Structure 1
Amino acid sequence: MIQRTIQAVITPQAQRLGPLTMHQPLPANGLDQLDPFLLLHHHGPTTFSAHNSGLPFGPHPHRGFETVTFIYEGDVRHRDSSGFSSTIQTGGIQWMTTGRGLVHSEGSSEEFREKGGPVELIQLWTNLPARFKGVDPHYVGLQKDAIPDLTLDDGNVTVAVTSGTWNDITGPIQPVYDVELANVTLLPGGSFVRQVETSRTVLFYLLNGSVVVNGREVSGRALVVFNNDGDELHVRATDNSRILLGSAEPINEPVVSHGPFVMNTEQEIRQAVMDYQSGRMGTLTD
């Protein structure tokens, strides 16, 4: 077994997005994607006051990829033009396969808009191979108690397994494309070793805290980019820390994106825009 070497550590800058503070480590300067991981937005932590207007993500379209929303604080009310609807609370996840296209919105529950409170979210976009870009849209929303936990290192490490398998725990989500994702929480001194096949792309995003990963210390918000030259990750926390950790086989296909659409060719993008404008992706009103 060989530890992967680190190619880069990306520290995202803060941006304002309505009432939210958003950090975007992916894409970044010099890094368009981590095939098949396309985009990572870390919103918050932010505290909303009472009598607020909720999350600012009104109806908008998507086609050609999957979105994964991790709700660390607050709640997210999902609605889409395929008829899926749910409100997921703290600790839950929302996994949406956009496939051939749909319109959706992400807001806050009436209770949250009335009372306010802390909000922290990650939204991750994962690409789909050309053969899956035309599948029917699908949505799964799971509350915290539906996501299995695994404890390691005498309780110093907790792993919430969303998809894929970690030790003998399999996550409840079965993605269209093979993507493994888990949230890892570490106490100071907690450590783990994760084996990942050399061919797979690693997604390693530190939300907060401080860790030593494969010999390098990383702290704060940081995306660690690995080379495909080994099959092990060695992680030890030096502070209370949280990591979004995943892996997937690269798709190795052309990526042409335009706002909320991710396809393989410019013609497919033009078609997506026309399909949305003509209502073929459905409609949704707040």
Structure 2
Amino acid sequence: MARPILAVRPLGFPWETPDPFLFCVHHRDAYPAGNEHMGPAASLAGRNLGQDFELKDGWRMYHGDTVPGFPQHPHRGFETVTIARQGYIDHSDSLGAAARFGPGDVQWLTAGEGVVHSEMFPLIHRDAPNTVELFQIWLNLPGEDKLAPPHFSMLWNSDVPRAPFVDGAGRTTEVTMVAGTLDGKRPPSPPSRSWASRPDTDVAIWCIRMEPRATWTLPRAAHPAAVRQLYFFEGDTFRVADDVVDRHAAIRLDAGADVSLAAGEMPCEMLLLQGRPIAEPVVQYGPFVMNTRAEIERAIQDYQRTQFGGWPWPKNDPVHARDAGRFARHVDGRIDKPTR
């Protein structure tokens, strides 16, 4: 039987991704208690504010000056999928949409022809730590959809399906499905112009958690042209078929094979990204991802001329009220809140 591992690479920052994905980053910051502005109740001395990516004291301010996070910035030509694991994320955008989402929630944003948004990490607890952990994944759009109308959507924790698999020893593997069907469970539909919305692209975004010494067989992809990457980011060791992986790594798998997985002596967590490649040229300039250099130049010109609709918020780094709770306010003014 052929070895199912095609390549193993160490995890970097960001994580390497295969087509149709462009980018994946795992943020985990152990923020302290929050102050009156929902920033860290701690000294910011010695930090390169506005460009603070050094993990000092276990956390970073990123591009934030008062509240950590990413003040307003533009995107064109792709989608962002943000999976919250711990803490809260405050979203505001040039469409007028806004949200606060937290553990287990997913935001899916089609940038399309252009959107400006901010992603701030409000430290809402004043008497306890405010750890923030999330994945942000960039999913490419094919050329015909790169100028699609922007679209903002929320998948609340209670709407994201989870499938438990119990092995013969009673140990559980749980798979959370942000995109892609497994065991008859299907997550809410992606935005209509997403590559993931097409029936023949076999896009899957799965979070996999295995109890110590649990075993589970990852089923083969449905589409013969799909590519599959497994990111092992939590745990000591785990086994892929006959190979032991003893370091956190990005593992390219043969998507056409069922693959047996086994956790080590600690719980293991993995992120799986899968999909049929778009197989088009990719030209990227910062937050713009197009097919040609001329399209990048047009994106820059359009942003300079229109600001992709302008910024309707009074600050570049808006955060919502401390007691706002989880919510989404859509472009049409509709307010959406989780059921739990």
Q: TM-score, with normalisation over the residues of structure 2?
A: 0.73
Letter in 1 for 2:155: L
Which residue of structure 2 aligns with residue 42 of structure 1?
Answer: 26
Which residue of structure 2 aligns with residue 30 of structure 1?
Answer: none
User: 1:6-33 CA deviation, whole Å, 9 max, x = no partner?
Assistant: 23222234xxxxxxxxx3222xxxxxx5
Cα distance in structure 2, aligned partners of 1:146 and 1:227: 30
Which residue of structure 2 aligns with residue 160 of structure 1?
Answer: 176
* 131-140 or 195-204, larger mean C-alpha shift: 195-204
Structure 2: gaps spanning 5 or more residues: 41-65, 197-202, 316-340
Cα distance in structure 2, aligned partners of 1:80 and 1:114: 30
Partner of 1:278: helix, strand, or coil? helix
> Rg larger in 1 or in 2?
2
Structure 1: gaps spanning 5 or more residues: 14-22, 27-32
Which residue of structure 2 aligns with residue 242 of structure 1?
Answer: 269
Q: CA deviation at 1:114?
A: 8.2
Tell me if 1:191 matches 2:218.
no
Residues 219 and 101 of structure 1: is their aligned pair in 2 closer, same or farther, counting only changes over 3 Å?
A: farther
Residues 3 and 145 of structure 1: is their aligned pair in 2 closer, same or farther, counting only changes over 3 Å?
A: farther
**Which of residues 220, 225, 230 in structure 2 aligns to 1:204?**
230
Name the one with the larger strand percent.
1
Which residue of structure 1 aligns with residue 293 of structure 2?
Answer: 266
Residues 93 and 219 of structure 1: is their aligned pair in 2 closer, same or farther, counting only changes over 3 Å?
A: farther
User: 1:156-175 CA deviation, whole Å, 9 max, x = no partner?
Assistant: 11111111200110012424
**Which of residues 47, 66, 76 in structure 1 aligns to 2:79?**
66
Which residue of structure 2 aligns with residue 182 of structure 1?
Answer: 206
* 2-11 or 121-130, larger mean C-alpha shift: 2-11
* 175-184 or 246-255, larger mean C-alpha shift: 175-184
Tell me if 1:122 matches 2:126.
no
Q: TM-score, with normalisation over the residues of structure 1?
A: 0.86
Residues 281 and 8 of structure 1: is their aligned pair in 2 closer, same or farther, counting only changes over 3 Å?
A: same
Tell me if 1:255 matches 2:282.
yes
Contact 2:124-2:130 at 8 Å conserved across structures: no
Cα distance in structure 2, aligned partners of 1:69 and 1:119: 13
Residues 159 and 220 of structure 1: is their aligned pair in 2 closer, same or farther, counting only changes over 3 Å?
A: same
* 214-223 or 163-172, larger mean C-alpha shift: 214-223
Letter in 2 for 1:98: A
Which residue of structure 1 aligns with residue 258 of structure 2?
Answer: 232
Which residue of structure 2 aligns with residue 137 of structure 1?
Answer: 150
Residues 213 and 235 of structure 1: is their aligned pair in 2 closer, same or farther, counting only changes over 3 Å?
A: same
Cα distance in structure 1, aligned partners of 2:88 and 2:29: 13
Residues 133 and 206 of structure 1: is their aligned pair in 2 closer, same or farther, counting only changes over 3 Å?
A: same
Contact 2:209-2:269 at 8 Å conserved across structures: yes
Residues 164 and 256 of structure 1: is their aligned pair in 2 closer, same or farther, counting only changes over 3 Å?
A: same
Cα distance in structure 2, aligned partners of 1:3 and 1:270: 45
Contact 1:54-1:112 at 8 Å conserved across structures: no
Letter in 1 for 2:134: L
Partner of 1:68: helix, strand, or coil? strand
Residues 195 and 281 of structure 1: is their aligned pair in 2 closer, same or farther, counting only changes over 3 Å?
A: same
Letter in 2 for 1:161: M
Cα distance in structure 1, aligned partners of 2:24 and 2:97: 23
Cα distance in structure 1, aligned partners of 2:224 and 2:214: 25
Cα distance in structure 1, aligned partners of 2:118 and 2:228: 29
Contact 2:159-2:187 at 8 Å conserved across structures: no
User: What does 1:4-83 correspond to in 2, within 5 Å?
Assistant: 5-13=4-12, 23-26=13-16, 33-51=17-35, 52=40, 53-83=66-96
Cα distance in structure 2, aligned partners of 1:248 and 1:38: 12
Partner of 2:299: helix, strand, or coil? helix
User: 1:108-154 CA deviation, whole Å, 9 max, x = no partner?
Assistant: 23625885411111111111111111111111223322211111025
**Which of residues 233, 240, 244 in structure 2 aligns to 1:217?**
244
User: 1:201-227 CA deviation, whole Å, 9 max, x = no partner?
Assistant: 113112211321232222453211235
Residues 269 and 246 of structure 1: is their aligned pair in 2 closer, same or farther, counting only changes over 3 Å?
A: same
Q: CA deviation at 1:270?
A: 0.4
User: 1:25-66 CA deviation, whole Å, 9 max, x = no partner?
Assistant: 22xxxxxx5111111111114333432243320000001111
Q: CA deviation at 1:155?
A: 5.5
Aligned residues: 269
